[in-house]
Amino acid sequence: MSTIGKPKVLRHYGVLTLVNLAAVAGVYWFDSVIAWSLLAGALLFILPHSYFTFYAFRFRGARAGGLIAQSFYRGETGKYVLTLVGFGCVFSSPIVMSLPWLCLSYLINWLVALIIAARAVRNVKL
């Protein structure tokens, strides 16, 4: 049993999901096309990155080095596949979406996750 605790990265994606859902609910009252685009962009970011996070941090400790590397590769490959399939599904969807809002939502989520990760790394005590 490892004494190293699991990072709480999935919790950050949960909070990011709730914030996005609240924003989409607020925007939906004004324009449903923008709301669907914001939701799709957020989900295109959150779902693949959550998949990667789940696999990347499954194992801990020095003895699990091989399993950790294998899990990182699996998570990264799955993240790319989920992202590509997600964009394919969005672009072939009959739901009308705004491409600029979809991309803006994806980029904003990416930036927020980057800031959260930078703050988490900065607060790590060695």
Check pLDDT > 70 for residue 104.
Answer: yes
Check pLDDT > 60 for residue 126.
Answer: no
What pLDDT, in 10s, does the model give residues 66-76?
888 888 899 99
Check pLDDT > 90 for residue 14.
Answer: no
Check pLDDT > 70 for residue 4.
Answer: no
Distance CA 75, CA 88 (A): 20
Check pLDDT > 60 for residue 5.
Answer: yes
What pLDDT, in 10s, does the model give residues 79-103?
999 999 999 999 999 989 999 999 9
Average pLDDT, the chain: 87
Write the secondary structure of the chain as one string of H (helix), E (strand) and C (coil): CCCCCCCCHHHHHHHHHHHHHHHHHHHHCCCHHHHHHHHHHHHHHHHHHHHHHHHHCCCCCHHHHHHHHHHHHHHHHHHHHHHHHHHHHHHHCCCCCCHHHHHHHHHHHHHHHHHHHHHHHHCCCC
User: Which is more confidently placed, 51 or 65?
Assistant: 51
What's the pLDDT score for residue 125? 59
